Amino acid sequence: MEPGVQSNAAAAAAAPEFPPKKLVRQLDFTANFGTLPAAAAQSQAHATAAMQSQVATSSRTSISMPLKIESPRSRSRPVYDVKDGTPKKQKQCNCKHSRCLKLYCECFASGVHCDGCNCVNCCNNVENEAVRQEAVGLTLERNPNAFRPKIGNSPHSIRDIREDSAEFALVGKHNKGCHCKKSNCLKKYCECFQANILCSENCKCIDCKNFDGSEERRALFHGDHPNNLSYMQQAANAALNGAIGSSGYVSSPSLKKKLKGLPFGTSAKDQAIHRVAQLNQVNPLKTSGTAPPGNPVARAVNSASSGSSKLVYRPLLADIVQPEDVKELCKLLVVVSAEAAKTFSDRKVHEEKHKQKGDQTESSHALSNQDGDHNKKALPDDRSSGTTSDKMSTEEFTSDSTEMQKGSRPMSPGTLALMCDEQDTMLMTSQNSGAPPRFLYDQSVTEVYAEQERCVLTEFRDCLQKLITRAKVKEKYASMAMKSEASSSQQGPVINGNARVPMPSPAELLRSSNTFPISFHNFLPPKLGRSTTENGNIDSKTENLDL
């Protein structure tokens, strides 16, 4: 073994100043380095360097900050197994000429020591910590943001992604943007693609096809590959777990074949798109402001390109769940959440009043009662009408309230991330609705969250169950329709249970059938008042909710 190449175990043992190698890399959507000590109120470069220094010397700071310097390269760890989604062993670099002291090296770029890598002359280890630190300094000198996450908040959040886009994209944006020229931003050469995000206006790519609404991208992510959904699920899971684990995302051989098989730049359609892209200069995003789908020309081409002769994958739910339904559901859940907060607050107020009343009664009658019973007696009777989980959530979180006050909130990072945008709104809503604000902030924020989460998840579950029922019914009808078509010997290609036959297609049959409602609207719960009117307009209860 070369002297520079170290063993993983030795590195881990000898490098207590660095986090364990297998730490899940976290997507820092906030990129919030502003939480660094005021003492580090220098440039961001210094802040980052100071952070490394702090970490390296295991010194001060109880401040919440990433212990590990995030990789600017989203292509690195963790790698998830494409089959079961479990984390695989991390990748190892193969550097030969950089001594693992430049950003070429994934490990170095990730801010971790090389650990069981196949590198040559590695200096990214404990034995060469001085050299390494020097390299870190040089790198930061060149680029103060070198070790910051490359993927930041998206300017086009979920709401801006076209609802009818079938493909899945994580919300995020490459801070620097990619500069791809030949990969159409649809290969892992592209940092955006690798991070499973759409190219943004930051990108300077040429002939980009990694935009929302891109047929090529859609084909790549949808196709008829049975595992594609699981890939997406995996990516979503990785994201929810704070990782940008796209590395294992397109790594399946079958999907590679699909990639390989894509007729990039060969079809007339592609040429048309190419021309449009060129008309849009390099990166269409830069000229259209949003995405090519916002560009009428590009949209037209995309639309035309999905011609009638092409086999189109149509999910069974395609006719049931309309884009507006998803939006609608989201709004409903927001309302449910707000309602839950309000209800919870009202209940608490009632409890307080009840308790005070009880105190007065007790004090007027006898002083012999023990104080310790007050809280238990104060538990409201009306809670008995609640569900078991209702009680549980309240009680178990009440016991945590002191811990919560200390700043520790028993909430998953995923939940936090999901709620970070909404929680303030929720609390404001609750306060404005008459709930004692101090109570919310000082005691029961966690309880409110728990209650909201419970209500939202319950509502969502109910919707999904109904959706499943609809899908089953539809599947049955589709199957029947196909059989009848087959028997009339006008058989067309069948994809996933949806026959593409001259006419009438099962979808048309289904649409024209009154047997069951097509629209998702129809089985959204009437709770809180339907949030859409008959003609599909959103009523005043939800229309001002900014999703």
| Residue 504: alpha-carbon gap to chain centroid | 39
Q: Is 174 helix (H, G, I), strand (E, B) or coil?
A: strand
CB under 7 A: which stretch of 125-133, 256-264, 271-279, 376-384 binds DNA? 256-264
Distance CA 249, CA 186 (A): 13
Binder of DNA out of 89, 256, 275, 377 (CB under 7 A): 256
Binder of DNA out of 83, 89, 159, 182 (CB under 7 A): 182
Binder of DNA out of 15, 49, 105, 301 (CB under 7 A): 105
Cα–Cα nearest to 71, from 153, 18, 149, 175: 149
186 or 450: whose CB is closer to DNA? 186
Q: Binding of DNA at residue 196 (CB under 7 A)? A: no
Q: Binding of DNA at residue 96 (CB under 7 A)? A: yes
Q: Binding of DNA at residue 357 (CB under 7 A)? A: no
Q: Binding of DNA at residue 188 (CB under 7 A)? A: yes
CB under 7 A: which stretch of 67-75, 292-300, 338-346, 396-404 binds DNA? 67-75
Residue 146's contacts (CB-CB under 8 Å, 6 or more residues apart) are 48, 72, 103, 109, 139, 140
Q: Binding of DNA at residue 333 (CB under 7 A)? A: no
CB 531 within 8 A of CB 539: yes
147 or 344: whose CB is closer to DNA? 147
CB under 7 A: which stretch of 23-31, 252-260, 414-422, 502-510 binds DNA? 252-260
Q: Least distance from C-beta 299 to DNA, angstroms? A: 24
Distance CA 117, CA 114 (A): 6
Q: Binding of DNA at residue 98 (CB under 7 A)? A: yes
Binder of DNA out of 6, 124, 125, 194 (CB under 7 A): 194
159 or 256: whose CB is closer to DNA? 256
Q: Is 544 helix (H, G, I), strand (E, B) or coil?
A: coil
Distance CA 512, CA 518 (A): 9
Is the C-alpha dihedral spanning 346, 347, 349, 350 positive or negative?
Answer: positive
Q: Binding of DNA at residue 179 (CB under 7 A)? A: yes
Q: Least distance from C-beta 44 to DNA, angstroms? A: 16
Q: Binding of DNA at residue 251 (CB under 7 A)? A: yes
One DSSP character per residue, 429-480 reads: HHHHTT--HHHHHHT-HHHHHHHHHHHHHHHHHHHHHHHHHHHHHHHHHHHH
What does the CA dihedral 478, 481, 483, 488 come to, rounded to 10 degrees? Answer: -150
Q: Pick out residues in 419-448 that bind DNA (CB under 7 A).
A: none
Q: Binding of DNA at residue 75 (CB under 7 A)? A: yes
Burial class of residue 462 in the structure, from the number of CB atoms within 10 Å of its CB (0-12 exposed, 13-18 middle, 19+ buried): middle
Which residues are near DNA by CB under 7 A? Answer: 72-73, 75, 91, 93-98, 100, 102-106, 109, 139, 142-143, 146, 176, 178-183, 185, 187-191, 194, 247, 250-251, 256, 259-260
